[in-house]
Each structure stands twice: as structure tokens, then as C-alpha cells.
A and B are shown apart, each in its own frame.
Chain A
Amino acid sequence: MGTLTSYPPSLIAAAAALVMPLLAFGVIIVGTRSRHGLSAVLSISASGFSTVMAISLLVKHWHMTAPLTYQTTWMASGIMAIPIGIQLDPLSLLMFTVVAVICLLVQLYSLGYMAGDPGFGRYYGFMSLFAWAMLTLTLSSSLLQLYIFWELVGLASYLLIGFWFEKFSASEAGKKAFVMTRTGDVAFLLGIVLLWLQLGTLDIPLLNHPEMVSRQLSPGMITLTALLIFGGIAGKSAQFPLLTWLPDAMEGPTPVSALLHSATMVAAGVYLFARLFGFFSLSPTAMGVCLAIGTISMLIASTMAMVARDIKQVWAYSTISQLGFMLMGLGAGSLFAGVFHLTTHAGFKALLFLCAGVFIHHHGTNDMFEIGRQGGRKRKTAVAGLLVGAGALSGLPPLAGFFSKELILGHLLDSGHWLAFLAAVVGAFLTTYYSFRLIFIILFPKGEQIPVSNPHHSEPHPARGERAMAFVLWGLIGVTLVLGFFQNPLQAFVTRFVSGADHATHHLWLAVAACILATAAIVQAWFEFGHKKARQIGWVERIPFLTDLFGQRWYLDRLYRYLLDTVIYRGVSKLFTANDRHVIDGAVDGLGRSTIDLGRLVSRLHTTMIQYRLMVMFAVVILLIHYIGWGF
């Protein structure tokens, strides 16, 4: 342990950026929860500090020559030592910056959105908790540390989904999210234990070292471990078959959905995959599974989005589908394609959610048809953000999504996964279709106009909060507009230390084809929803079977309910109840009964005159001692 000055400044900066949100969380929860303004100031200044540190670290290490790792022992027990540390490499720095920036923007936005909420202080406390956990997750140097913060992020998610816990559906949604992600995390934990038993180390740089891992693990074991860890990824990133928690998680406040359930927390799964990319690449089976799961999730989720009426649900399905798309890119063997899409997606999906938040805030409803009829198009900033965000989501040039989507499509094509490529094309078409379905429904409402029915609307909004919301929207629009043009420098940065760095061949025809496809989808959406005589009924809704299937989320929830009822409640739980009633209760009751019986038996020996008998006992003992001591 040296003095503080012996540590490099980057470490101190990173550690400070991690600790500030934790401090803010502690202070807010313990002391200032009831003082709303102060709590918000604390939380936002902590996040602001982290953002400044993150950006300066990114700039400082832009030309880094080697990854920097600082580790110290957290606790040691026998031969086992658990290290904690900070790892600064291009991937973690990029993710760190993305998380810090979105955190800050969303917290600023919440000033307006959450104004007047009785839980305002608590909200900012939880936001700080999330910021701390998520930032530390990105910089973790060992898998165990990552897992700890992975769970803390899940906790923050649970707390924020159930933020309006007095609403029954919100607390149920929080529970559902917690349990479903935890299901995946059990697999993840098993994977970590397996790795620990086999390798004796959980350091992320070591795990990505191909020779070191393949020397100590058989290929089958690598595949098994990789699949177990992938279980955690599927849970956190809401991939098939653990995807139904994310739409329900929209019960939380909209900024929370923007931050946790689209831009950063659910992307943690994808980030973990990218983090262990070297390890996953060792197992072709795991990569194949990743590609398959990504493809399935992407298609299923986009079909669900086509029939949703709730504006936030549409973006939730779209998030699942885009996360699947990232996993497809990673599964096809391109680290950068997945990470780049993650980065751009974080920007434009946060933008879409925050725009949705503006509509919900003003119109007091989540239903897009009602928002349209109440005159949603009069919110100029939100409409602009919606158009830019949806354009990016659909992959229209020159928005950020265009570059990253085209990169993934190109990689799918180059790596020869024809089936996945075709699925991705279909998915891209559906994505554009449902995004513009939503836009046209809001912009060109049919039927009579109805007045704004928001109960909160009558009270005067604090103008400062409104300005903060607009400011954040414009900031994200700017990011979405320019981020795509940083593709090449980012690619050079991220893939610097990756062996066999992927260089995508640029397909011009692919970009043109993707644009034509997107345009076709927009035209279809226009004729079904935007056109003057359009009846605003999509082609899916004309087929009752499909409407049902998509609207019921492919009956996944029903299936889980059924499994839960038959396997858990009627099988396992019944067994345990019987065990509890007969074995445990029986043993305890038997103990009591036998004590009583024994007491009855012993009471027969009682003849009163206790002190005389005690005296006799003493006398006998004294005589015995005499006899042993002196022998008479």
C-alpha cells in the first residue's frame, strides 16, 4: 500500500468517478430524501462529475498503447483471494462514457418529468445507486466483481420499476423482472463457479487469452461454461426465452425506462458478451447459439411491436429486438459491429423513450391513438426527436443507426450466415414498419379531436423543468445525428487490442438496398396509417390469428404461467408442503409430546422434602471424598 500519490492519475480519476454516485446515494437515502431539490442537485452533480471524468479519461487514453489494469485484494481466505480492480481498455472506456453521459442526461430530464412527485428524493437516490453499480460494472477487472455489480444493477432496476409501488401492476412488474433476470443469473453464477474451479482465476484479461484458456479447458467444458454465462446474458438483455419481463418493466417512470431498460442496463448483457468476446470465440457452438437466440429474439420482438398500442411497449419490444440484433453481430464474429450498434442504440433509443415521456407527461396516457387525437403533434421538440430517433432505428442515412445496422448486416453476409442475414433483413423491414406506424398514428390522427385529459396538466409546470427536458432531447438528437460519422475512429479504438481485428468490407449495394427496404416499409406504413383515407388498421390486425399471437406475446407468458402452475405449484411446492407438514411439524410436535410423557413418568419419583434429600446427597459425597482421600 503506497501513498495516494504513487497511484497513476487515471486510476484516481476513475475511482473517484465510481465513488461519487455511491456517496450521493448514501447521503440522499440517509439524509436528504425528503428535501427534493437538494437530493436532485447531489445526484446530478455526482453524475456530472462522473461524466466529466469519463470523457477526460476517454480523451486521455484515446491513443493508449496497452490496456491498464489496477487490482488489489478485496478479501483473502486460505489460498483464495478475491481481487477487485479497475480495468481501463477501449471497450470499457467507451461503455463507461456512454453510461455516464446517458445517466447525466436522463437525470437532467427527470427534473422536469418527475417534478412534483412525492418520491422525488427517493427517485434520485435510486438513480445514483444505479449509476454507481452500472459504472463499476463497466470497469470491473474480474468476472466476480462484474457479477456483484450485475446483481446490484438488477436491484436498482427492481427498485425503479416498482417505484410507484402503490400501483399493484408496478410492484408485480418489479417482481417479475427481478425473478426472471435472476433465473438467468443462476446459470451465470454456475458458469463463474465452473470457471473458478477449472482455471482458478476470474480475471477478464486472462479469460480472453485464447492459449491460456484452451490449454486448461477441454472444448466441451468451454462450450458448457460459455452457454451458462450466456444464460445470464439472455436474462439481463431480455433475450428469448426470458424476454417477457422487459415490456412489463415499462411500469416504471419513463426516464427509468430510457436509462435502464433500453440504453444501459439491458445492454449490460451485450456488454458482457463483448467483454468475454475472446472467451466466447473459442466455442463455435456458443457463438452459434448466440446468433440463433439473437435472431429469434429480434424477429419475435419486432412482431410483438407491430400490434402494440402502448407507445412505451413499442419501444420496449424494439429494444429487445435491437439487443438481439447486437447479439447477432457479435455472434457472427464481429466485436465492433455489436459494440458500435450498442453505442448508437443507447443514444437513439434513449431519445425515443424520452420523447415518449414528453407525450405521456403532457397527455397522461400511454395509448398512441389517444395521444394522436389529443394533438400530440403540437409538441414540436418531441416530434422532431421522434422522427430522428425512428429514422436512426430504421437505419436511414445519415443517422447513427444507419452506420451500425449496415455494419452488422455486412458482417452477417460476409461470415456466410445466410439464414441470419435474411432474418435480419426481414427484421429491419418490420422495425421500420412499426416505428413509422407509431409516428403516423401520432402525427395524422383519425377521428375527432379530444381535449387534453391530463389531470396534471392544469397545474403550472415549472418552466425550468420543461427547458431541461427539451435541452436533453436536443442533445440526444445531436448525438444521433453525428455519432455515425465517428465509425472509423471508434473502430480503430475499440479493436486495437483484439487479435485478428475484423475489417468489414464495405458493401455499397447493401447500404442502398437497406435504404430502399426502409423506404418501402415507410411507404407501406404510410398507406396503412398516414394516408388521408387510411383506416389505421395494419395488415397484421386483419388476420385475427396473428393479432392474437403477437398481442399475447406469442403466448410466452401463458406458457410460463402454465409451467409455474404445474411444475412449481403442483409438483415441487406440494412436495415441500407435505414435507413441512408431516416431517418437520411432526418432529417438533413429537418432541413436545415425548417431553410431556417423560415428565409424567419422572414425576412418580417425586416425594417432596427436597432439602433433606439434598443434605443426604452432600453427606454421601463428603464421605466418598473422605474414603477416596484417606481410605476409611
Chain B
Amino acid sequence: MIVPLNHILLLSAVLFSLGMFCTLARRNLIMMLLGVEIMLNAAAVAFIGASLHWQQMEGQAVVIFILAIAATEVSIGLAAIIAIYKRSGSVDPDLQTTLRKVEGNPS
């Protein structure tokens, strides 16, 4: 392996931080979902690097697993976002108070 493990872990950490920032800072549910995806991919990169470093196949198997889970997560997440948008006309996470209002107990 030409690239040292540390570099890969660094890349993974940077990606993870970017994703985290995106999830925390953006005022848009879709961008939050994107942030989550990026964090997932950061974890996948770390797995691949570890798998190459120790010459074990399990890491790659886990990555394929992550891909599958990411795909389902996106599909369900987008569906939920569309449903939310149809209900409230916005994708701003802070405006979503429907659940509280249904219970008749505004925050």
C-alpha cells in the first residue's frame, strides 16, 4: 500500500468533519441528509483504508453494507422530506413543529 494509513484516516476525519458541519449548520433538510451521507462515506473510507492496511476482507464487506444502508437511508429520507414539504411547505428543520401541535402542546 503506497498511501500510509494515517493519511487515509486524516482524509476520513476531514470528510467526517465536513459532513458534520453540513448537518449542523445548514437550514435545509436536504442538505442535512447530504451531510449524513458524507459522514457515512467518511466511515467507509476509513474501513477501506484499514482493510488494505491489515489485508483483511472484512472491511470491504462492511463498506458494501454501508453502501446498501446509505441507499435505503437516502430513499426513505427523501420520501420523508417530500412528505414534510407537502405538509408544511418548507424544508427548514426548525419550522417543523407539527408533531407537537398534533398533541395540542406547542413548544
Contact of A604 among B24, B25, B97, B103 (CB under 8 A): B103
A3 at the interface (CB under 8 A from B): no
- CB pair B24–A603 under 8 Å, yes or no, is no
Q: Is the interface of A mostly helix, strand, loop or mixed?
A: helix
A606 touches B24 (CB 8 A): no
Q: List chain B residues, Cβ under 8 A from A594.
A: none
Interchain CB contact (< 8 A) of B93 among A603, A604, A610, A615: A610
Residues of chain B lying within 8 A (CB to CB) of residue A618: 20, 24
Q: B47 → chain A, closest Cβ, in Å?
A: 18
Q: Does A499 contact B (CB under 8 A)?
A: no
Min CB distance B9 to A, Å, is 14
| Bound-complex Cα distance A322 to B32 (A) | 81
The 0/1 profile, CB within 8 Å of B marked 1, for residues 600-624 of chain A is 1001101111110011001000000
Rounded to whole angstroms, the CA-CA distance of A607 and B93 in the bound complex is: 12
- Write out, one digit per residue, whether chain B residues 94-105 have a CB within 8 A of any chain A CB (1) or not (0): 101101101101
- The 8 Å CB contact of B24, one of A600, A607, A608, A611, is A611
CB pair B24–A609 under 8 Å, yes or no, is no
Q: How large is the interface on A (under 10, 10 to 19, 20 to 34, 35 or more residues)?
A: 10 to 19
Chain A residues within an 8 Å CB radius of B20: 618
Q: CB distance B100 to A608 under 8 Å?
A: yes
Contact of A607 among B23, B32, B107 (CB under 8 A): B107
| Cβ A603 vs Cβ B102 within 8 A | yes
Tally the A-B contacts, defined by beta carbons under 8 Å: 31
> Of B94, B102, B107, which contacts A611 at CB under 8 A?
B94
Q: How many Å from the CB of A228 to the closest CB on chain B?
A: 48
In B62-107, the 8 Å CB interface with A consists of 93-94, 96-97, 99-100, 102-103, 105, 107
Q: Which of B23, B25, B94, B100 contacts A606 (CB 8 A)?
A: B100
Q: In the bound complex, do residue B100 and residue A611 qualify as a contact, i.e. CB atoms below 8 Å apart?
A: no
Please report the C-alpha to C-alpha distance between residue A614 and residue B23 in the assembled complex, in whole angstroms: 9
Q: Is the interface of B mostly helix, strand, loop or mixed?
A: helix
Q: How far is the CA of A610 from the CA of B25 in the complex (A)?
A: 11
The answer to whether A608 and B94 touch (CB under 8 A), given A614-B23, A618-B24, is yes
Residues of B within 8 A of A607 (CB): 100, 107
Most chain B CB inside 10 Å of its own CB: which residue of A606, A607, A609, A615: A606
Q: What A residues does B25 contact at CB under 8 A?
A: 611
Give residues 196-217 of A contacting B (CB, 8 Å). Answer: none
Q: Could you tell me which residues of chain A, from 573 to 629, have a CB within 8 Å of some CB in chain B?
A: 600, 603-604, 606-611, 614-615, 618
- Interface size grouping (class) on chain B: 10 to 19
Query: Is there an interface contact between A606 and B93, defined as CB atoms closer than 8 Å?
Result: no
- Is A614 a contact partner of B94 (Cβ separation < 8 A)? no
List the B side residues contacting A610 at CB < 8 Å. Answer: 93-94, 96
The reply to whether A615 and B107 contact each other, CB–CB distance below 8 Å, is no
Inter-chain contact B99/A603, CB cutoff 8 Å:
yes
- Cβ proximity bits A545-570 to B, threshold 8 Å, 1 near / 0 not: 00000000000000000000000000
Q: Which residues of B contact A606 (CB under 8 A)?
A: 99-100
The interface residues of chain B lying within 8 Å CB-to-CB of A603 are 99-100, 102-103
Give complex CA distance A604, B24 in Å. Answer: 23
- Shortest beta-carbon distance, B100 to chain A, in Å? 6
B105 CB contacts on chain A under 8 angstroms = 604
A615 to B25, CA, bound (A): 9
Report the minimal beta-carbon distance from B24 to chain A, rounded to whole angstroms. Answer: 5
Residues of the A chain whose Cβ atoms lie less than 8 Å from the Cβ of B107: 607-608
- Looking at the assembled complex, report how far the CB atom of B103 sits from the nearest CB atom of chain A, in whole angstroms: 6
Residues of B within 8 A of A604 (CB): 103, 105
| Residues of the A chain whose Cβ atoms lie less than 8 Å from the Cβ of B103 | 600, 603-604
Flag if A608 contacts B96 (CB, 8 Å). Answer: yes
B106 to chain A, nearest CB (A): 10
Taking the nearest CB of chain A, how far is it from the CB of B80, in angstroms? 13
8 A Cβ contacts from B8-31 to A: 20, 23-25
The interface residues of chain B lying within 8 Å CB-to-CB of A600 are 103
Are A609 and B94 in touch, CB under 8 angstroms? yes
Q: How far is the CA of A609 from the CA of B96 in the complex (A)?
A: 9
Q: A611 and B93: CB pair below 8 A?
A: yes
What separation, in Å, do the CA atoms of A618 and B22 have in the docked complex? 13
- Which residue from chain A places its CB closest to the CB of B93 in the assembled complex? A610
The minimal Cβ–Cβ distance linking B93 to chain A, given in whole angstroms, is: 5
CA distance A608 to B93 in the complex (A): 8
* A residues apposed to B, CB below 8 Å: 600, 603-604, 606-611, 614-615, 618
Identify 7 new A-B residue pairs, CB closer than 8 A, beyond the known A603-B102, A607-B107.
A600-B103, A603-B99, A604-B105, A610-B94, A611-B23, A611-B25, A618-B24
